[in-house]
A and B are shown apart, each in its own frame.
Chain A
């Protein structure tokens, strides 16, 4: 009787390929999970005379429900065009899916009662906030750099922390 080795040279290579594939998939999954689990920060320029915002204020500001004024000048929100970050932000700040946010703005816009914040890519949003006072945006916490953090929206279910 001829025994077949448990791992032949061919099957060993196949197993290596399978392991490599599984590792890649696992890494992809983890990176996707890590991306959706990123803490977000609501930021403004260092010299904007405001020290923190509540989650409700941020929601009201980005949903055009209410204006926030700083020394007589309105805070101008800048929205992001990145669908994943935008989805995360509105889910955390207002518990609204992207579809509902789109419908919400369409209702306001087409009744002539509001206009949505400018929507730009993350790098442009950061650049605009750095160059113009009284503008605010949101981004992954680790990219806040020298910007002033007004609110942290954690990835977990914990209530968001205001920065005062």
Chain B
């Protein structure tokens, strides 16, 4: 077992090293070009190369199911007891400024993706133009800003936890977004209101629940985000509205099977093509040098079999000098099971109908991610560029038979850094 673990880790390291080597060469070329150019002035710091990353390991006490986050194909648990790929990542960013009003940003991040590799993904590639003191326009690739940590979800160094609570952050229907965004900042008495609105397209790969098939989640959407801040307080609201397409062959086959049986209404739920999707996010934060309280709620509505999903969390943290101790209570609920009550009761002799119903039940059950988790963690900066974090999560799946998905304890040790 240990041999396998080590060899897997070695393979992962080799995969990881191959890609960043290319990235490093690109980054070095940019750096060399920019700073060796006679026209540029280093003292101006108009061009910068930065980076971030996480080295971590997580172990899950149950071997019955994997602890998953966003696009990861597997995680600690059933696939392997301990996993160094759950949170580990490495990112490089290039920033260029052309005068005071125009900036260019590129960011690439290597993380454990649905293809089971650390293939670097271009996560930022946009021009940012500041036409006036209160407005900003960005065009290109950005990160969707629905939740507090959405835009820097890969940069764990700046987040209070080892990873964003999956109960809420797994509900995102868009991550890297190609489009345009307009933002403005308005004073409201003692408060400051930042409004951002944008349109875009997003695509990311996920592994279909209950199978090994990779499918692309594609979405077109418009969004509106608002952040109201004053001293130690921040209130956030986001609304995303659009269409989502997710068509792995297993899902398509099930849809066709249901159509052939005349179950058109039910089939509609499994033909995941340009389905209407809406995501609402609400958040509140209070932060001082001593205390951090933060809570978020999300409601996702998709016109498909996994139609209603909700997630929420509450975080309370207290700093003691350099140490920070925190606790998180998070939960996820779905209305997916409602669909099971609408299934037809075919005769036992109708084998094809029975098979289709079994397929529906299996797909729906695999998509249920209802659970509640209680987490406790401690974090300590190591110098000004790294933070060591340790977190223990008690995760209890809900709305499923206890023998299918038992509760588990996830233990994580991460080193987050920036440079």
The chain A residues found within 8 Å of chain B, CB to CB, are 60, 65-69, 74, 76, 95-100, 102-103, 106-107, 109-113, 115, 118, 120
Contact = CB atoms under 8 A, between A and B. Distances in A.
A112 B124 contact: yes
B334 interface: no
A69 B133 contact: yes
B100 A95 contact: no
Interface stretch (B79-87, B89-97, B164-172): B89-97
B241 interface: no
16 contacts: A76-B100, A95-B232, A99-B384, A100-B287, A100-B289, A106-B158, A107-B155, A110-B50, A110-B107, A110-B152, A110-B418, A111-B152, A112-B105, A112-B128, A115-B48, A115-B97
A68 B288 CA distance: 26
B48 A66 contact: no
Nearest to B324: A99
Interface in B174-209: 185, 192
B418 A106 contact: yes
A120 B133 CA distance: 25
A156 B18 CA distance: 55
B143 interface: yes
Contacts, number: 78
B192 A118 contact: no
A118 B322 CA distance: 26
A99 B322 CA distance: 9
Contacts of B232: 95
Q: Which of B95, B128, B142, B158 has the most chain A CB atoms inside 10 A of its CB?
A: B158
A141 B369 CA distance: 59
Given A74-B133, A109-B50, A103 B231 contact: no
Contacts of A112: 105, 107, 124, 126, 128, 138, 142-143, 151
Given A96-B289, A112-B107, A115-B97, A67 B130 contact: yes
Interface string B50-68: 1010000000000000000
A95 B138 contact: no
Interface in B261-301: 287-289
CB-CB nearest 6 A-B residue pairs: A111-B151, A67-B133, A112-B105, A110-B155, A106-B158, A112-B124
B103 interface: yes
B381 interface: yes
Nearest to A107: B158
A99 B152 CA distance: 17
Nearest to B45: A118
A74 B158 contact: no
A103 B100 CA distance: 23
Given A74-B100, A95-B289, A115-B95, 4 more contacts: A106-B152, A111-B143, A113-B151, A118-B45
B193 to A, nearest CB: 11
Contacts of A111: 124, 143, 145, 151-152
B43 to A, nearest CB: 8
B134 interface: yes
Contacts of A76: 100
Interface in B102-126: 103, 105, 107, 124, 126
Contacts of A107: 151-152, 155, 158
